[in-house]
């Protein structure tokens, strides 16, 4: 029998990653594309269908070898109905995405929150293997998390569990994509970091990022890494403040949950782990209950960009009972 594969789509706020994967041979092919913001529901699904067909053709596998298409969405997703509740960074709300995709694709479609998918990947193949209780946090365009409790992804009573990015950290903080103000992700995501650096530079603070900001160029995680490495004071200051907030929020969540492991990933985190991780850990320890801090390790992701891709394998087994 020919081997089966999962097509995993990780739809981020800025980029979409598609891959054909199975547990036997790992990632067969991967494809990365920019996410076009502000599209309609229909255009969003059409883009996913195109991406799926393209990656299947690149992998040179037959349609009957596709066990499922697993889609990770940055927002709340009801896995039973396949409805996206709210994905603020994609501009999607109350969208029956699975129903729509089912009409357009001849494969079973699974839709899941992107960081839950990454957590499922880390649990089956990465830094959370054999862990009973873990938190996976991804810092990127927004901040999301996946909760592993008793060795399983915990999705909550209304499929919203893990929305760590919308914990309020400031009474009168910046506006968040969810409509409220002062959310964790509006204060400490890459988007927030870039916004804060830009404001400081525009107010006259010297920075190596000045010309990029003046020309309105996109500031990616790797550009931030260069600014940090060059000792840019504005960038360092903003990052230090973001790391403090991240450490403080993680300490609060861990005081409540008492995890074994906290795994940190996401674009900005992965590009700047050497700078960010020790500062996050230091703030984490400062704001934690001693015993809660002692029993947990705070580490970087094992699978990095591929965490959600591998999560597609775990999801296919959990929801379709198919080992891939």
| Nearest by Cα to 131 from 116, 144, 150 | 150
Are 290 and 256 a contacting pair, CB within 8 Å? no
Cα separation, 307 vs 115, whole angstroms = 9
Residues 148-207 that bind Zn ion (CB under 5 A): 166, 176, 178, 183
Cβ of residue 187: shortest distance to Zn ion, in angstroms?
A: 10
d(CA 156, CA 234): 39
Footprint (CB under 5 A) of Zn ion, residues 47-106: none
Cβ atoms < 10 Å from Cβ of 136: 32
Give residues 234-263 in contact with Zn ion (rule: CB under 5 A).
Answer: none
Helix (H, G, I), strand (E, B) or coil at 89: helix
The distance of closest approach from Cβ of residue 180 to Zn ion in the complex, given in angstroms and rounded to an integer, is 5
Residue 276 beta carbon to Zn ion: minimum distance, rounded to whole angstroms: 21
Nearer to Zn ion, 83 or 178 (CB): 178
The smaller minimum CB distance to Zn ion, of residues 176 and 268, is found at 176
* Beta carbon nearer to Zn ion, 144 or 312: 144
Question: In the complex with Zn ion, which residue's Cβ is closer, 22 or 191?
Answer: 191
Antiparallel, parallel or unpaired: β 83-87 and 92-95: antiparallel
Half-sphere exposure of 194 (CA within 13 A, CB side): 21
Pairing of strands 109-113, 66-73: parallel
3-state secondary structure of 143: strand
Shortest spacing between CB 47 and Zn ion, in angstroms: 25
Residue 184 vs 310, nearer CB to Zn ion: 184
- CA–CA distance from 43 to each of 9, 38, 125, 156, 199 (Å)? 16, 10, 33, 30, 33
127 vs 147, beta carbon nearer Zn ion:
147
Minimum Å distance from CB 183 to Zn ion?
3
For the bound state, the minimum distance from the C-beta of residue 15 to Zn ion, rounded and expressed in Å, comes to: 21
Give contact residues for Zn ion (rule: CB under 5 A).
166, 176, 178, 183
């Amino acid at each position: 029998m020919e081997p089966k594969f999962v097509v995993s789509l990780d739809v981020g706020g800025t980029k979409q990653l598609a891959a054909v994967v199975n547990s036997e041979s790992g990632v067969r092919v991967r494809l990365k594309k920019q996410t076009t913001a502000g599209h309609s529901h229909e255009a969003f699904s059409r883009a996913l269908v195109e991406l799926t067909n393209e990656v299947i053709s690149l992998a040179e596998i037959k349609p009957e070898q596709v066990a499922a298409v697993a889609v990770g969405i940055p927002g709340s997703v009801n896995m039973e109905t396949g409805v996206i509740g709210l994905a603020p960074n994609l501009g999607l709300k109350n969208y029956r995405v699975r129903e729509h995709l089912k009409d357009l694709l001849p494969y079973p479609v699974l839709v899941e929150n992107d960081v839950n998918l990454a957590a499922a990947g880390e649990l089956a193949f990465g830094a959370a293997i054999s862990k009973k209780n873990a938190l996976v946090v991804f810092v990127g365009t927004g901040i999301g998390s996946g909760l592993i409790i008793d060795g399983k992804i915990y999705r909550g009573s209304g499929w919203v569990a893990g929305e760590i990015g919308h914990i309020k950290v400031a009474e009168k903080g910046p506006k968040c994509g969810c409509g409220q103000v002062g959310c964790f992700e509006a204060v400490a995501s890459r988007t927030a970091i870039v916004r804060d650096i830009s404001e400081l530079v525009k107010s006259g603070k010297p920075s190596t990022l000045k010309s990029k900001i003046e020309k309105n160029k996109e500031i990616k995680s790797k550009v931030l890494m260069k600014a940090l490495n060059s000792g840019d004071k504005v960038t360092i200051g903003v990052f230090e403040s973001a790391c403090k907030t991240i450490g403080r929020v993680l300490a609060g969540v861990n005081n409540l949950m008492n995890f074994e492991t906290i795994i940190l990933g996401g674009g900005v985190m992965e590009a700047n782990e050497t700078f960010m991780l020790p500062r996050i850990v230091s703030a984490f320890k400062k704001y934690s209950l001693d015993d809660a801090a002692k029993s947990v390790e705070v580490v970087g992701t094992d699978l990095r960009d591929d965490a959600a891709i591998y999560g597609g394998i775990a999801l296919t087994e959990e929801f379709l009972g198919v080992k891939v």
